[in-house]
Structure formats: structure tokens, C-alpha cells
């Protein structure tokens, strides 16, 4: 059952997603669920950093990351609630909102596609 798929990310999107991930933690004193989540977050950090490095080395403005259903869901859970630009926000804040909204939309699309493919493969 294919539960992984590609998502095309810009450098700004990859950087914004990395910034939203919680800081690394020491998994030694965690229960099994928390250790699993910490491992998933570490894998996401590594994958997003690799995507950014790949873009930097190649000079491309975007690159693909291959994510699982669980990874896409975890990234979505780490993002702040969707919001619209408001009056009084500076250009950097507005750009950050646009970047996160764009990444969120693509993550949701990937997640739905992977779930649909998994359901089709299971029937």
C-alpha cells in the first residue's frame, strides 16, 4: 500500500515548515507514543533540511520532498491555525502568512491524495 508521495516545496515553504516544528527533544524519558512522534519530527526536520540543501546546491527555486501520510499529518498539526492577512501587518508577516497558507494547501492536497490511494489499494 503506497503511503508516501511527493510534495513540491519552495525554499521559503520548506524554511517556514522547519520553523514551525517544535525543537528536538531527548526521547529517553518518553513513552512509546511520544518517542514515535519525536522520531517522526526528527525525520521531518532532516527531510526538509535536505530539500533546502538540494535547492541551494542546484540553484532551483523548488524541490520535491517525499512524505508519508503520518508525516504530512504531523506537519499540518504543527502549523498555526490558518489566518488571513490583516491590516497593519508588515510585508514580512504578510509573506509568512501566504507562505504557510500555500504550504498548508499543498500538504492537505498530498494528505488527501495519499489517503485516497491507500483506500483504493485496500479495496
If one counts every other C-beta atom within 10 angstroms of the C-beta of residue 21, the result is 16
Residue 30 neighbours by CB under 8 Å, 6+ apart: 38
- How far, CA to CA in Å, does 9 sit from each of 13, 16, 28? 6, 10, 33
Q: Which residues constitute the domain of residue 36?
A: 4-122
- Rounded average pLDDT over 76-88: 86
Confidence of residue 18 (pLDDT cuts 50, 70, 90): very high
Per-residue pLDDT of 24-77, as tens digits, reads 888 788 899 999 999 999 999 999 999 999 999 999 999 999 999 999 999 999
Question: In the chain, where does DSSP find H-type helix?
Answer: 11-20, 32-58, 69-78, 91-122
What pLDDT, on a 0 to 100 scale, did the predictor assign at position 119? Answer: 78
Residue 1 near residue 122 (C-beta atoms within 8 A): yes
Total number of domains in the chain = 1
What average pLDDT does the chain have? 90
- What is the pTM for the complete model shown? 0.86
Does residue 1 surpass a pLDDT of 50?
no
Cell of 71: 508525516
Amino acid at each position: 500500500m503506497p503511503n508516501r508521495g511527493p510534495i513540491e516545496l519552495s525554499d521559503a515553504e520548506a524554511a517556514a515548515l522547519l520553523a514551525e516544528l517544535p525543537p528536538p527533544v531527548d526521547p529517553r524519558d518518553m513513552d512509546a507514543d511520544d518517542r514515535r512522534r519525536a522520531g517522526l519530527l526528527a525525520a521531518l526536520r532532516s527531510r526538509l533540511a535536505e530539500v533546502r540543501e538540494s535547492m541551494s546546491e542546484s540553484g532551483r527555486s523548488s524541490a520535491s520532498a517525499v512524505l508519508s501520510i503520518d508525516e504530512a499529518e504531523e506537519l499540518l498539526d504543527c502549523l498555526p491555525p490558518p489566518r488571513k492577512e490583516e491590516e497593519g501587518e508588515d510585508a514580512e508577516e504578510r509573506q509568512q502568512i501566504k507562505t504557510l497558507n500555500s504550504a498548508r494547501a499543498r500538504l492537505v492536497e498530498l494528505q488527501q491524495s495519499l489517503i485516497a490511494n491507500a483506500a483504493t489499494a485496500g479495496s
